[in-house]
Amino acid sequence: MIKALHHIAIAVESIDAVLPRWVDGLGLTLCGREDVPGEQVRVAVLMAGDTRIELVEPMSPTSPVAKFLEKRGPGLHHLAFHVDDTGKMMKVLADRGATLLSDAPKPGAHGTQQAFLHPRWLGGVLAELVEEPK
């Protein structure tokens, strides 16, 4: 089932504007940046010890993250959970009554496969399932 917390995602309007506070201010390590066209976002991956934090910036005004920022402003966007098989986990959770935001896993950052659970199912928390590349 769930192996571990994969990352914590923070929605930001501009990675460039906030990154110095995370790296220079907090001393976190920047591991890389990547565009994820399927989700219309740019991601900066930071490490706080063993904990991965992703700053997520919208690439388009129609991206889900842009809509999130309009409605709620910058801040905690979602929790991501590491799973062995995203497709299999989606089926298990659907059978348990979870509302999924897609019918199949989608490509995520760094070669992962991902899927999101509707926040209603977890009491207002958006959750992501993440499968690392084999």
pTM: predicted TM-score of the whole model, two decimal places:
0.92
Q: What are the tokens at 100?
A: 């999924």
CA–CA gap between residue 36 and residue 38 (Å, rounded): 6
Count of residues in the chain? 134
Rounded Cα–Cα distance for residues 98 and 27 (Å): 38
pLDDT tens readout for residues 55-69: 999 999 999 999 999
14-66: per-residue pLDDT in tens?
Answer: 999 999 999 999 999 999 999 999 889 999 999 999 999 999 999 999 999 99
CB 44 within 8 A of CB 55: yes
Decide: 68 and 11 in contact? Cβ < 8 Å: yes
